[in-house]
Structure 1
Amino acid sequence: MTTTEAPGDASPRLYNDDLAPATERRWGAFSIFNVWTSDVHSLYGYFLAASLFLVAGNTLKFLVGIAVGSLIIYWLMTLVGIAGVRTGVPYPVLARASFGTFGANVPALVRAVVATFWYGAQTSAAAGAIVAFLARYDGPRGFHESTHLFDHSGLEVVCYLGVWAAQLLIISKGMETVRRFQDFAGPAVWLMMLLLAVVLSVKAGSLSFAVDMAPADLAALARSATGLDVAPGSLAAIAAIAATWVTYFAALFLNFCDFARFTPDARALRKGNIWGLPVNLILFSLVAALTTSAAARVYGQVILEPAEISAKFDNVFLVLLAALTFAVATLGINVVANFVSPAYDFANVAPKYVDFKRGGLIAAVIALVLYPWHPWDNAPSFVNAIGSTMGPIFGVLIVDYYLIRRAQLNVADLYREDGEFRFQGGWNIRAFVAAGIAAVFSSILPTYGPSGYAATLGPYTWFIGVIVAGVLYFALSAGRSPLAPKPAPTTP
């Protein structure tokens, strides 16, 4: 039976107050819903949806692909979320059950590094929206064009630092402030996206989802924007849309329990997920498609960046409103998806010295150091790269919790060095073997293997990693349910 209390003899190497099972559970269905509005209603989320719209060829096929992907996302997020509700622990602590009390630091740090990359990408996108507005005026435009630092303009650097600092301020206040902020950010971005679609549709003179481009040009633009080598509108294109949409959430599949653990029960979790995932994702994607097609008719070109679209408005108030809203959207997704996870992940490495706030600070500093190199510029490739690293970890974690342990977990032993999850000195070798072999198929072969492998299976690397790791882990763990820990050495 699953317990939800840390033991009185918890090891300081495994426990602090932030990593302990949640006791206050105030994240109801509305807050869970807004986890998803904050996560997907971003500049990157819009860019990906608009890009996939080009791949679909028409609106119906686009909605089919997005709907299939969104239902898969809902099912998987609910699996992870229920584990969080039942145990009350964050992702790196839950990972101790499958990877070992100290081995869990490896998947935790992998997730943390991914989050810092996304933090930099989203912060850079928000800074770009603000730059687009300020550059309309002579003073800021002159500064933007004449001053350069770290391969960026001076204005870009200033805006990046401003958005970076604002996010750090929010995370420093703790998880309750995170909840209140994302309850505001999600609806605000929804309103702005709707306003953008309405304004452009009025300018276009009609409501249409068509993009007037020659098929060959559309196919070339779709490949350039998404990296998907498929014929727009084909069955392969619809499947690739669904797979890429699922992969976009690869990182949060791991650590959704960081939020779900504050939910009072599974019913509230499912309610928040159903509205926040299939319903919200489909509607958001539809708005992105409408905006893209309307902007193409108004400006005579396909523009996939919402900040670039809004910067073309004649109405200064609308441009300012859009810039501020996009900045809020980025704050929302970064706080929810890219600060909370590394805050727990870094704290998990050294709980005695690093708490939730210090963990978030570490993530922010790493993202700041990465800024001069801006490794996040290629969005579609970045999404697939993330999926390829996250899949094997997710496969091990889910198979361990649901198939090996039958959703029954001794939470107290997650905080003991000599408990059930000690394995081989705190490391579960079977989990690492399964994840390592799966990573060959999901990460190494797509990058260094035959070109045909990546071209054919690129959108599905996350799924390959999940399946290979899950099957191998289950096979290696056969007859060991629950997995037997290695006995702790006795003191003479």
Structure 2
Amino acid sequence: MTATDSAGGDRSTVPQGYSPRLYNEDLAPATERKWGAFSIFNVWTSDVHSLYGYFLAASLFLVAGNTFKFLIGIGVGSLIIYWLMTLIGNAGVKTGVPYPVLARASFGTFGANVPALVRAVVATFWYGAQTSAAAGAIVAFLVRYDGPQHLHETSRLFDHSGLEVLCYLGVWAAQLLIISKGMETVRRFQDFAGPAVWLMMLVLAVALSVKAGALDFSVDMPGDDLAALAKSATGLDVSPGSLAAIAAIAATWVTYFAALFLNFGDFARFTPDEKTLKKGNVWGLPVNLILFSLVAAITTAAASNVYGEVILEPAKISAKFDSAFLVLLAALTFAVATLGINVVANFVSPAFDFANVAPKYVTFRRGGLIAAVIALLLYPLHPWDNAPSFVNAIGSTMGPIFGVIVVDYYLIRKAQLHVPALYEEGGEFRFQGGWNVRAFAAAAVGAVFSSILPTYGPSGYGATLGPYSWFIGVIVSGVLYFAFSGGKSPLATPAAAMHGESDVAKGS
């Protein structure tokens, strides 16, 4: 049996017994595994070193009250992130399959499209938002000159200036070019972008510290403004520097990575073994996260001393430099940083997710094109300016999904998965017509705690448990799924048990 690219592209052979409704070469278990520890490290530099990543770290630094408490909160959060990412990463290494295919084991062969599309919707929304942020960094540099400034002030299109539209289209096209070349090009881009952004962050911190005349971590901020920032950053009315604030910092830092807890397997599956993955994760997560956060703290404090105001956006800090060269360098670096997180968190994931819905017709490249076109069509509406709470509510459901998948893989299946059955319509993961009702029931209840109550429920719930709602959703859905399943796979077959490790190893 063969599946033919409707556009006249390459033909891909569907292995005997596999369904073309569930299989194409992009969704198949990875065979070429060229991602070493350095590439995994740069998955995290690309994801963290964004404009919003800096903004969040700088905000949490102020909420912590002092550097020592900040490092405790960020350190605890980073260790939790490392542990959770290693869980999902090891599953990717062992099975070799991307997230939507792994989700078939718990949600069913066709039911997995629901958690896949949840991730795709959130990722596509933030893809547009991050593209807009990257374009904004370039605009901030260009308006220093008369021509671009005139275009920015006199032209309007889709409720944006002509300059903003041109920069958005440029960044949009650059990302599409990267993703159209496949995952190997993504790896090469990350290996360049990660070190480049780190270098620029250090230049920014050193330049401001020299200008300030000393390395200082003190920030003078009015109490009311600081309390408002704490509320905005953590969702709680906490006293900056308190134990509650430190705990909220750790929880907020973990929740920031909610999408990556699901789609890290999309990258981990290209590593040769768990040892390589662990090495990349150690340097990329607790080490890199803590150092990056410390640099953000230094930069925030130095900028406060130099300019007499608290500036949390690095693009606004660099725009104040006297040197046009430094401003240009910063603008390009921040644009590359934002491209990095978009490719990792918001572009690769929907490409696989959309491909999973119709593998016979949608390849990885076409899935990425679908996401890019949707983001382009959303630009005139710029929903990321006024609808993040709605999308965050949807995104919070990724916690319960994560809980179901991890419990299914580690506690119920003991990390032994019959990979070929993931591509069979009538195999072990068919459940009820391709849908595992138990998984959806558990995830739905978990979503009430992680998404519905914090966003639309009583104000007291969000004010007390807001930063912890992701954790609550994971625990509730995981416990319920384990209970509903009776601690064992609902439709585990003798054949699946016999295949065991050998099928996992070869993947098909």
TM (normalized to structure 2)?
0.92
Q: Which 10-residue stretch deviates more, 157-166 or 379-388?
A: 379-388
CA contact (8 A) 1:376 1:382 kept: no
Task: Pick one of 348, 357, 366 that aligns with 2:356.
Answer: 348
Between the two proteins, the alignment pairs up a number of residues equal to: 481
| Amino acid paired to 2:308 | G
Change (3 A) 1:136 1:479: closer
Unaligned runs of 5+ residues in structure 1 are: 1-5, 486-492
* Residues in 1 aligned to 2:491 and 2:306: alpha-carbon distance in whole angstroms: 61
Tell me what 1:3 maps to. none
Deviation at 1:138, TM superposition (A): 1.2
Deviation at 1:440, TM superposition (A): 1.0
Tell me what 2:411 maps to. 403
Tell me what 1:133 maps to. 141
Deviation at 1:395, TM superposition (A): 0.4
CA contact (8 A) 2:89 2:268 kept: yes
SS in 1 for 2:34: coil
SS in 2 for 1:376: helix
* Residues in 2 aligned to 1:310 and 1:456: alpha-carbon distance in whole angstroms: 37
Tell me what 2:438 maps to. 430
Alignment of 1:354-365 (within 5 A): 354-365=362-373
Change (3 A) 1:221 1:481: closer
| Amino acid paired to 2:130 | Q
Deviation at 1:35, TM superposition (A): 0.3
Tell me what 2:72 maps to. 64
Change (3 A) 1:373 1:51: farther
Change (3 A) 1:421 1:221: closer
Deviation at 1:214, TM superposition (A): 3.4
Cα distance per residue 1:1-54 (max 9 Å; x no partner): xxxxx9522100000000000000000111000000011011111011111111
| Amino acid paired to 2:115 | P
CA contact (8 A) 2:393 2:452 kept: no
Deviation at 1:396, TM superposition (A): 0.3
| Amino acid paired to 1:416 | E
Cα distance per residue 1:325-378 (max 9 Å; x no partner): 111111111111111111110000000000000000011111112222333347
Deviation at 1:482, TM superposition (A): 5.8
Alignment of 1:304-319 (within 5 A): 304-319=312-327
| Amino acid paired to 1:410 | H
Cα distance per residue 1:213-256 (max 9 Å; x no partner): 23333223333455442111111111111011001100010111
CA contact (8 A) 2:235 2:462 kept: no
Tell me what 2:213 maps to. 205
Deviation at 1:479, TM superposition (A): 4.9
Tell me what 1:368 maps to. 376
* Residues in 2 aligned to 1:279 and 1:31: alpha-carbon distance in whole angstroms: 15
Q: Percent identity?
A: 86
Tell me what 1:171 maps to. 179
* Residues in 2 aligned to 1:151 and 1:57: alpha-carbon distance in whole angstroms: 40
Change (3 A) 1:96 1:341: same
Residue 266, structure 1, aligned to residue 274, structure 2: yes
Deviation at 1:384, TM superposition (A): 5.3
Unaligned runs of 5+ residues in structure 2 are: 1-13, 494-508
Q: Which 10-residue stretch deviates more, 30-39 or 220-229?
A: 220-229
Residue 33, structure 1, aligned to residue 44, structure 2: no
Tell me what 1:246 maps to. 254
CA contact (8 A) 2:235 2:463 kept: no
SS in 2 for 1:119: helix
Deviation at 1:447, TM superposition (A): 1.8
| Amino acid paired to 2:413 | R
CA contact (8 A) 2:234 2:252 kept: no
Deviation at 1:383, TM superposition (A): 8.7
CA contact (8 A) 1:346 1:359 kept: yes
CA contact (8 A) 2:99 2:265 kept: yes
Alignment of 1:51-450 (within 5 A): 51-224=59-232, 227-377=235-385, 385=393, 388-450=396-458
CA contact (8 A) 2:447 2:473 kept: yes
Change (3 A) 1:48 1:378: farther
Deviation at 1:150, TM superposition (A): 2.1
* Residues in 1 aligned to 2:347 and 2:90: alpha-carbon distance in whole angstroms: 22
CA contact (8 A) 1:51 1:226 kept: no
| Amino acid paired to 2:45 | T
Q: Which 10-residue stretch deviates more, 212-221 or 113-122?
A: 212-221
| Amino acid paired to 1:265 | D
* Residues in 1 aligned to 2:312 and 2:382: alpha-carbon distance in whole angstroms: 20
Deviation at 1:141, TM superposition (A): 0.9
* Residues in 2 aligned to 1:378 and 1:55: alpha-carbon distance in whole angstroms: 25
* Residues in 1 aligned to 2:240 and 2:387: alpha-carbon distance in whole angstroms: 19
Tell me what 2:27 maps to. 19
Cα distance per residue 1:375-409 (max 9 Å; x no partner): 33479858954652210100000000000100000
SS in 1 for 2:489: coil
CA contact (8 A) 1:248 1:383 kept: no
Q: Which 10-residue stretch deviates more, 419-428 or 204-213?
A: 204-213
Deviation at 1:314, TM superposition (A): 0.3
